[in-house]
């Protein structure tokens, strides 16, 4: 990069364009860079330098960006960080025609009684006075994102200092991390940055096409009029030769590639996307021109179940809100919603579960819900979140086959399995098992539930407004209580690579403590995305529920085709003996839209006409002698 810059400088000097990089800092030294300085009212040293594990804390958990960065951590200090300013070296921009700042930020912009903010500031008097040049936007989570500012209005001075300032609003908030800080008049030559994604999502049924979507950002000094964008699956390559463009420095434009990815097989597709030849020449910095993507072709769509882990505690006066909405979703969606109450600071706390829950990126306090291990929501937002996730296409079916309890030894025997619809490496998935108990009671004061809804001043909340400010333990029954998380927060690593049709079986035994009521105990089995940590789907089984390893013992074959369907699907059933069977179809909110009974049958092909139903996800339920098998069906008009 420096050699390219030197060449560009020499080329443009006679024209007084003076392309120059003033600051290019990655903080990999792990200490204050030369020429930088800071001011702080904090007692912890203000801005510190290191890795995510060095600089993070219980509630501010910045993602690991693969290196070192600069950060100020208000959560860890709980001190005065209302003016933590990190200043770059003074620069002379008297001869510059433009000035730009770019950096990577890890900043949630969270509110917890107070709101944290972050700013780009500047000084022309050696740091005596400061003015705001721009705001660092909060992402609402603890992920890294790139941000940039046009500071050309600041050129002309000979002693310009640019700084980053964090303000905790005088509260106990979270923090700010920055990395890859670049301050420049213009980058040399023709330079683009590429971002890309698969438009169809991570999992796609075979037989279709998914688009490659990408963004071209001009991070150079010249307008971009042409660029080539190529994607390859390792065998074939496809290029968009874009021309007639007019992308100004600092601007971004979104495109969809002219050739979509054809999903022909139930395998993992690795798609590498590259941007080349901006304005017909080599990119002056091609380190940000390549993106690798992955999508999976799947042979069938598994049953999606949504999993909500509510952070709660008996000391938490607003947590009755979690009681109300957990119960509502469990009632409205009994087959596709799994709710788990993760307690904190009371006798029902499971430390490993509580620590994982409260360390989830974006966690701000109680009550909160880690929804599908993908985001944090308030309990009152759970119905909307459920609707956002329930239609996700998932690449497997999971079932808890056995949850048998021996009352003499108190040993719980468990068996669960995953049937995969695609190829996955062992690192693409993880498994976990949680034990959850309903009807938990206790006699100590730790089982008293604080209730800020008492008296109705905070509005109605499912009847809690009629209860006292402290509900005594004798009147409290706690449901969905997390009793253990067998694989820890992250879960068990994938055991083996799989292809479509493969099954992975998990088996274990567990000694149930004497003070647990096994008749109210449930086994929750989850399939986890090994790359993101998000839940893919899950399944449950009450302890002591009949094992029925294949659910319906006489059922030997079941399939729904086509899936997705545009209106009419066919359900094929085969039984080992003549049975009486009920077939029903339920929509996403649990309403029965089709039902039929067949007596003394060995199976057949049954037409399911959903032509008059709305597009969405449906569940085909087969019931024989109280045993149930469910298939997921997608309707796309």
Per-residue pLDDT reduced to its tens digit, 360-388: 877 878 999 999 999 889 999 999 999 99
Residue 367, preceding peptide bond in cis (omega within 30° of 0): yes
Q: Report the CATH number that the domain containing residue 609 is assigned in CATH.
A: 2.60.40.1930
pLDDT at 546: 57
If DSSP states are collapsed to H, E and C, what string results for 394-457? CCEEEEEEEEEEECCCCEEEEEEEEEECCCECHHHEEEEEEEEECCECCCCHHHCEECCCHHHC
pLDDT at 65 over 60: yes
pLDDT at 630 over 80: no
pLDDT at 587 over 60: yes
Look up residue 96 and give its two tokens: 């510059």
pLDDT digits (tens, 9 = 90+) for 159-195: 999 999 999 999 999 999 999 999 988 655 688 888 8
Same domain, 348 and 285: no
Same domain, 277 and 411: no
Q: Are 592 and 602 in contact (CB under 8 A)?
A: no
Mean pLDDT value of segment 326-333: 94
pLDDT at 509 over 60: yes
Q: Report the CATH number that the domain containing residue 105 is assigned in CATH.
A: 2.60.120.200
Q: Is residue 338 part of a domain?
A: yes
pLDDT at 271 over 80: yes
pLDDT at 424 over 70: yes
pLDDT at 9: 31
Same domain, 321 and 234: no
pLDDT at 345: 97
pLDDT at 6 over 50: no
pLDDT grade, residue 272 (50/70/90)? very high
Same domain, 318 and 416: yes
pLDDT at 234: 93
More confidently predicted of 74 and 287: 74
| CA separation for the pair 332, 309 (Å, rounded) | 17
> Which residues, including other chains, have CB under 8 Å from residue 554's CB and lie 6 or more apart?
575, 576, 577, 579, 624
pLDDT at 3 over 80: no
pLDDT at 551: 59
Q: Report the CATH number that the domain containing residue 240 is assigned in CATH.
A: 2.60.40.10
Same domain, 122 and 46: yes
Q: 24-38, 187-201, 218-232: lowest mean pLDDT where?
A: 187-201
| CA separation for the pair 116, 145 (Å, rounded) | 17
pLDDT grade, residue 15 (50/70/90)? very low
Same domain, 401 and 516: yes
| CA separation for the pair 54, 52 (Å, rounded) | 5
Q: Does residue 233 sit in helix, strand or coil? A: coil
Query: In terms of Cα–Cα distance, which of 519, 263, 576 is closest to 395?
Result: 263
| CA separation for the pair 572, 559 (Å, rounded) | 5
pLDDT at 633: 84
Q: Of 542, 569, 602, which residue sits at a domain end?
A: 542
Torsion of CA 128, 131, 133, 138, to 10 degrees: 100
Question: Which DSSP symbol is given to 64?
Answer: P
pLDDT at 76: 87
Phi, psi of 207 (to 5 degrees): 95, 0
Same domain, 374 and 488: yes
For 3, left (φ over 0), alpha (ψ -120 to 50), or beta? alpha
pLDDT at 588: 56
Q: Does residue 380 sit in helix, strand or coil? A: helix
Q: Is residue 245 part of a domain?
A: yes
Same domain, 509 and 531: yes
pLDDT at 589 over 90: no
pLDDT at 346 over 90: yes
Q: Are 608 and 620 in contact (CB under 8 A)?
A: yes
Query: In terms of Cα–Cα distance, which of 264, 209, 262 is closest to 423?
Result: 264
Same domain, 380 and 345: yes
Q: Of 521, 542, 563, which residue sits at a domain end?
A: 542
Q: Is residue 549 part of a domain?
A: no
Q: How many domains does the chain have?
A: 4
pLDDT at 445: 96
Q: What Å distances lie between residue 170 and 81, 83, 365, CA to CA? A: 7, 10, 18
Q: Is residue 394 part of a domain?
A: yes
What is the Cβ-side half-sphere exposure of residue 587, based on CA atoms within 13 angstroms? 12
Q: Are 420 and 395 in contact (CB under 8 A)?
A: yes
Sign of the torsion angle spanned by Cα atoms 73, 75, 78, 80: positive
pLDDT at 2 over 60: no
pLDDT at 486 over 80: yes
pLDDT grade, residue 559 (50/70/90)? confident
pLDDT grade, residue 550 (50/70/90)? very low
Q: Are 41 and 81 in contact (CB under 8 A)?
A: yes
Which residues span the domain enclosing 27?
2-184
Same domain, 223 and 172: no
Q: Is residue 548 part of a domain?
A: no
Same domain, 228 and 314: no
User: Rg of the chain over CA atoms, in angstroms?
Assistant: 29
Same domain, 327 and 347: yes
Q: Is residue 547 part of a domain?
A: no
Look up residue 516 and give its two tokens: 């647990």
Determine if the pTM surpasses 0.85: no
Mean pLDDT value of segment 83-87: 97
Q: Of 236, 269, 298, which residue sits at a domain end?
A: 298
> Which residues, including other chains, have CB under 8 Å from residue 340's CB and lie 6 or more apart?
307, 308, 309, 310, 434, 436, 480, 482, 524
Exposed, middle or buried by CB within 10 Å (0-12, 13-18, 19+), for 446? middle
The full length of the chain comes to 637
Mean pLDDT value of segment 151-166: 95
Q: Which percentage of the chain shows pLDDT scores above 70?
A: 95
What's the mean per-residue pLDDT of the chain? 90
Element (DSSP H or E) covering residue 7: helix 2-12
Q: Are 476 and 447 in contact (CB under 8 A)?
A: yes
pLDDT at 603: 92
Q: 196-200, 339-343, 509-513, 529-533: lowest mean pLDDT where?
A: 196-200
Q: Does residue 520 sit in helix, strand or coil? A: helix
């Amino acid at each position: 990069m420096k050699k390219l810059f030197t060449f560009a400088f020499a080329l443009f000097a006679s024209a007084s364009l003076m392309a120059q990089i003033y600051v290019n800092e990655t903080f990999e030294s792990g200490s204050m860079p030369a020429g930088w300085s800071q001011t702080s009212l904090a007692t912890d040293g203000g801005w510190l330098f290191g890795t995510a594990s060095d600089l993070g804390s219980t509630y501010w958990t910045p993602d690991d960006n693969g290196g070192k960065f600069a950060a100020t951590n208000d959560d860890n200090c709980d001190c005065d960080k209302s003016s933590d300013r990190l200043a770059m070296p003074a620069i002379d921009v008297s001869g510059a025609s433009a000035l730009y700042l770019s950096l990577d930020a890890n900043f949630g912009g969270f509110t917890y009684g107070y709101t944290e903010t972050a700013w780009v500031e500047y000084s022309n008097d050696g740091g005596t006075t400061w003015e705001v040049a721009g705001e660092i936007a909060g992402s609402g989570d603890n992920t890294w994102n790139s941000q940039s500012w046009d500071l050309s209005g600041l050129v002309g001075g000979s002693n310009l200092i640019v700084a980053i300032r964090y303000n905790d609003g005088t509260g106990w908030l979270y923090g700010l991390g920055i990395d890859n800080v670049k301050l420049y008049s213009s980058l040399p030559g023709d330079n683009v940055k590429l971002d890309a994604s698969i438009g169809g999502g991570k999992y796609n049924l075979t037989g279709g096409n998914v688009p490659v979507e990408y963004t071209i950002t001009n991070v150079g000094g010249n307008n971009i009029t042409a660029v080539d964008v190529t994607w390859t699956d390792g065998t074939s390559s496809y290029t968009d030769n874009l021309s007639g463009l007019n992308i100004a420095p600092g601007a971004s434009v979104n495109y969809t590639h002219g050739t979509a990815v054809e999903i022909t097989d139930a395998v993992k597709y690795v798609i590498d996307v590259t941007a080349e030849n901006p304005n017909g020449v080599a990119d002056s910095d091609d380190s940000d021109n390549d993106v690798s993507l992955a999508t999976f072709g799947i042979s069938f769509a598994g049953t999606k179940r949504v999993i909500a882990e509510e952070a709660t505690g008996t000391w938490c006066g607003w947590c009755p809100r979690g009681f109300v909405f957990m119960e509502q979703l469990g009632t409205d969606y009994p087959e596709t919603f799994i709710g788990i109450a993760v307690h904190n600071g009371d006798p029902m706390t499971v430390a490993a579960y509580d620590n994982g829950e409260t360390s989830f990126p974006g966690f701000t306090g109680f009550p909160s819900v880690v929804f599908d291990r993908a985001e944090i929501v308030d309990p009152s937002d759970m119905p909307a979140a459920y609707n956002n996730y329930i239609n996700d296409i998932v690449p497997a079916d999971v079932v808890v086959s056995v949850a048998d309890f021996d009352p003499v030894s108190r040993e719980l025997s468990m068996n669960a399995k995953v049937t995969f619809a695609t190829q996955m490496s062992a690192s693409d998935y993880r498994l976990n098992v949680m034990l959850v108990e309903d009807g938990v009671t206790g006699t100590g004061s730790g089982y008293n539930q604080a209730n800020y809804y008492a008296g109705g001043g905070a509005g109605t909340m499912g009847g809690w407004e009629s209860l006292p400010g402290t509900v005594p333990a004798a009147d409290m029954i706690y449901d969905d209580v997390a009793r253990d998380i067998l694989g820890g927060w992250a879960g068990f690593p994938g055991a083996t690579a799989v292809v479509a049709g493969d099954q992975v079986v998990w088996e274990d035994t567990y000694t149930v403590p004497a003070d647990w009521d096994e008749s109210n105990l449930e086994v929750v089995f989850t399939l986890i995305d090994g790359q993101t940590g998000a839940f893919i789907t899950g399944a449950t089984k009450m302890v002591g529920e009949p094992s029925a390893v294949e659910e319906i013992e006489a059922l030997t074959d079941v399939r729904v085709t086509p899936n997705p369907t545009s209106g009419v699907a066919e359900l094929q059933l085969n039984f080992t003996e003549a049975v009486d069977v009920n077939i029903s179809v339920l929509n996403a909110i649990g309403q029965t839209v089709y039902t039929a009974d067949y007596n003394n049958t060995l199976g057949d092909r049954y037409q399911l006409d959903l032509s008059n139903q709305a597009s969405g996800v449906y569940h085909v339920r087969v019931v024989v002698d109280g045993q149930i098998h469910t298939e997921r069906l997608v309707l796309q008009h």
